[in-house]
Amino acid sequence: MISELGLAALWLATALAGLQLFAGVMGQRADGVAGGAITALVRPAAALQALLCVLSFGLLVVLFLQTDLSVALVANNSHSAKPFIFKLAGAWGNHEGSMLLWVTVMALAGGLIALLERRLPEKTILATLAAQAFLCLGFYFFILASSNPFERLVPAPVEGAGMNPLLQDIGVAIHPPMLYLGYVGLSVAFSFAVGALVTRQVTPDFARIMRPWVLSAWIFLTLGITAGSYWAYYELGWGGWWFWDPTENASLMPWLAATALLHSVSVLASRDALRTWTVLLGVVAFSMSMLGTFLVRSGILTSVHAFAVDPERGSIILFLLALYIGGALVLFALRANTISEGERFSAFSREGALVFNNVALSALLGIVLLGTLYPLLTEAFDVKVSVGPPYFNPVGAVFLMPMLAILAVGPMLRWRRDTFARVKWPVVTVTVAGLLVLVGVSIVADIGLLPLLGIAMGIVVGIGSVLPLLGRSMRRLPLATWGMVVAHLGVAVSLFGMGTDTAFTTEKLVAARVGDTTQVGPYQVTLDAVYPVAGPNWVSLEANLAASYQGGSPTKIAPQSRSFWAPPQQTSESALLTRWNGQLYAVIGGEAPSDGGADRWQLRLWWKPFVNWIWYGGALIALGGLLSLIGRIANDLKRRAAKARGDARREEIAA
Amino acid sequence: MTSAFKPKHQRLMLLALALVVLIGATLLAAWALRSQASFFYVPSEMAANPPEPGATVRLGGMVEEGSLKTLPDGVTIEFVVGDGEARVPVVFRGLLPDLFVEGSGVVADGSLQPDGTFAAKELLAKHDENYMPRELADMDMAQKQQVVAETE
């Protein structure tokens, strides 16, 4: 019954999306704002649609919590013995459920625009909501045609098949919803861009209204990528935090586009420049989200995330991709020349720096995109290749490093036009600091060029990011400026962590007897015991390790090698010991073959200096976004309240 | 400075700049992809046309039954990867992936040594039904076809 209700809600939402699209388009045809009574239905349709989608998704969650095995999706992905949190996360830890989450977020974004946005011309909002409805329709169609999460299974099995053990981790409860809020949140930017193009309203107002939406999506995307990176780091047991795996690239590409959009939208909002470019980025950002979904969902890449291997699904997503991206680009091509030129600016100005940022981010996006698609292209010619760090790291650095150098000074520049003399001292400071670190580190340690540059740039950006605070009253400083400073500082922190971890990680691989001590970095690790343990749906071999930092008092850590039985599979549960300046990372393998003595156990230990700073940095970047978002919204509310007061007074005077 | 130009010109300048950088990025990427992408070999290809020693490549095939042995240090593993025509000895230092067993497929990331052994940096084994390296997925299909052809 619950399942049928969920499906009915989804069908109703589809019908409402159809109505919303039709009414929104009618609103464009008619003269003036009110295109007849039907346009009044657009906003209620969007809100109701959001409600129905949330209901539908909520019902799927209920099915998973109840472990209703008569529903095929639950039977295939869940198990009654699974802990509560994974039953909950099981609702979106699979193809169908995650697509339902996708449309739910999309409909929710549309509903929120319908309820909250009243500042733009009504016609533009109608066009925006029509575009959002058009996007939703495609994905409803996709779900109903090929990925129905509510399909029944007759007869119902006695027990479910369980969930991929690699996914049975708290990460699955956090990472996918965050990423989806980010991915799909960008659909708002897409729809706003289409709305602005259709009604020729590419104005600073449009940018100001779009900005909080883009910012919100970007915050979630940042958190999603950060959480995903940390999850892969501790769950896969390889000690790496970024693998240039296509599924990771699929989330990085929208982030790069969204970051560029965020910066160009602020140029448009503050200075009325970069109009065409901002609109194009709005289209590109969500296109990258859809491309990522196509890559991950179609099964064209075979990887942890590619649960679905089904050509029908792939071809529908490919069709939607072509329709939406192609359609938006055609619209852009038709309308781009009607967008008049914005304000001019000198090359040496805040705008100039932001243009540089945008061009570099676009170049990075292109590099990641080409590297991700290249193996698919060559496969068409029967040549199998894989593209990894030897490509992405150096080629990316060619554009990343100059961009970071500009980042260190860009925020200090004035809008429109500035002189070098005014920023001479900050530039000299960061340059000298960068060179000192570069020379100092290369004398002390023999490390690769890229990590060396990463460390030096981390310091440069770190200093550069706080320089805008100098000489300003901390209390008076707008929250949005704090946001920028914190986010840029986050970039520096993260970069420093990446550089130091890459350069100075030490690894030990040993076959240890109980009682043996291994030195790894500053840690002495003693194997105290190895024993079996049992969990709710697994049994495991656990090692008891005592780790002491530079001879200090030992801390116990216990890595496990787990065997799940539903489905039967093994995973390594790493054990981590975090300090402010790095992490000890321990993994237990299996029993090593006997050499005649006592039993030996395979241990892999890493000392990873400052590796945790990578994710602290990611969190700081997101926090910066949040501060900026709060600042913008607070400003906005203040302005609205002032306007309302002014209006009231004028009415009083008139009366 | 650009502000000296007419509006139209500034727009063109920006466009030209963006295009130059993006085309530059594309060319650089294309060049790097040709030189940095690692190619996939099966043992018979590696025997017939070996990659340069030290170049990062991937080797895929079946772990030969009975070939797996651990050296006295307890963490270095040697095994032979074959495809029915050729055999390549592989040496790997590390923890074996969970589903790594003899008689099953494996993809090894590493480089060929001058002495003809393949030094693997990383082993990608099939994790479960849904997750396996793409080369492995294709290979299993080809092998199935081969088995069918042999039995007919």
CATH code: domain of residue B78: 2.40.50.140
SS3 of A606, please?
Answer: strand
Structure tokens at A454: 């990463």
Indicate whether B114 and B130 sit together in one domain.
yes
Chain A residues touching residue B121 (CB < 8 angstroms):
none
Please list the residues that pair with A602 across neighbouring strands.
A511
Tell me which chain B residues have a C-beta less than 8 angstroms from the C-beta of A562.
none
The residue ranges of DSSP E strands in A259-305, in sequence order, are: none
Compute the distance between CA of residue A26 and CA of residue A121 in angstroms, rounded to an integer. 16
pLDDT above 60 for B151: no
pLDDT tens for each residue of A159-186: 887 777 777 778 788 888 999 999 999 9
Does B145 lie in the same domain as B72? yes
Domain A169-342 falls under CATH 3.30.2320: no
Neighboring chain B residues of A370 at a CB cutoff of 8 Å: 26, 29-30, 33
* Preferred mutation among A271, A391, A514 to probe B, highest tally of B CBs within 10 A: A391
Contact B74 A602 (CB under 8 A): yes
Q: Both B27 and B44 in a single domain?
A: no
Total domains in chain B come to 2
- Between the alpha carbon of residue A269 and those of residues A214, A274, A474, B88, B103, the distances in Å are 13, 10, 24, 62, 62
Overall pTM surpassing 0.80 (yes/no): yes
Residues of A in contact with B98 (CB under 8 A): 569-572
In this predicted structure, the answer to whether residue B24 has a pLDDT above a threshold of 90 is yes
**SS3 letters for A567-624?**
CEEEEEECEEEEECCEEEEEEEEEEECCCCCCCEEEEEEEEEECCHHHHHHHHHHHHH
Q: Where are the domains of chain A?
A: 1-160, 169-342, 399-504+613-625, 506-610
CB atoms within 10 A of CB A234: 19
pLDDT single digits (tens) B79-129? 999 887 889 999 999 888 766 777 777 888 899 999 989 999 888 765 444
Window 526-565 of A: residues touching B by CB (8 A cutoff) are none
Q: What phi, psi does A84 have (nearest 5°)? A: -50, -50
Is the same domain home to B121 and B61?
Answer: yes
Give residue A94's pLDDT: 86
CA A294, CA A312: separation in Å to the nearest integer?
12
* Domain identity same for B142 and B103: yes
Inter-residue contact A13 to A52 (CB < 8 Å): yes
Residue A31 has pLDDT above 80, yes or no: no
Helices (H), A477-600: 479-504
pLDDT tens for A77-110 read: 888 888 888 888 889 888 899 999 999 999 999 9
- Mark whether B13 and B83 lie in a shared domain: no
* DSSP symbol at A306: -
Q: Which of B3, B39, B74 sits opposite A593 (nearest CB)?
A: B74
Task: Retrieve residue B47's tokens.
Answer: 């025997």
Greater confidence (A252 vs A417) lies with A252
Return residues 461-520 of A near B (CB < 8 Å): 509-511
Put the strands of the sheet holding A506-512 in their side by side order: A506-512, A600-609, A582-592, A575-579
Same fold, A1-160 and A169-342: yes
Contact A532, A540 (CB under 8 A): yes
A602, B29: Cβ pair inside 8 Å?
A: no
Can you tell me the distance from the alpha carbon of A169 to that of A562, in angstroms, rounded to the nearest whole number?
A: 13
- Pick the range with the lowest mean pLDDT from A10-24, A70-84, A128-142: A70-84
Q: Are residues B14 and B88 in the same domain?
A: no
What is the C-alpha to C-alpha distance for residues B135 and B126, in angstroms, rounded to an integer?
11
Identify whether residues B85 and B16 lie together within a single domain.
no
> Are A395 and B29 within 8 A, CB to CB?
yes
Whether residues B30 and B54 fall in one domain: no
Residue A570's pLDDT band (cuts 50, 70, 90): confident
B115: containing domain: 40-151
Q: Kindly write down the DSSP assignment for every residue of A212-234, as one continuous string.
A: HHHHHHHHHHHHHHHHHHHHHHH
Tokens at B2, concatenated:
């650009």
- The ipTM is 0.82
Number of residues in chain B: 152
**Tally: H helices and E strands in chain B:** 3, 7
On whether both B66 and B114 belong to a single domain, the answer is yes
Give me the pLDDT at residue B134, please. 57
Please state the φ and ψ torsions of residue A201, each to the nearest 5 degrees.
-120, 45
Choose the CATH number for A1-160 among 1.10.150, 1.10.3210, 1.10.10, 1.20.120: 1.20.120
Strands (E) in A280-386, as ranges, are: 385-386
Q: Are B70 and B103 in the same domain? A: yes
Interface test with A, best of B6, B45, B68, B131 (most A CBs within 10 A): B131
Asked if B15 and B86 sit in the same domain, the reply is no
Average pLDDT over chain A reads 90
Please tell me the distance from the alpha carbon of residue A179 to that of residue A219, in angstroms, as a whole number.
10
Position A247, amino acid:
T
Q: What is the pLDDT of residues A49-74, one digit of tens each?
A: 999 999 999 999 999 999 888 999 99
Q: Which residues pair with A534 in a beta bridge?
A: A539
A contacts of B10 (beta carbons < 8 Å): 341, 344
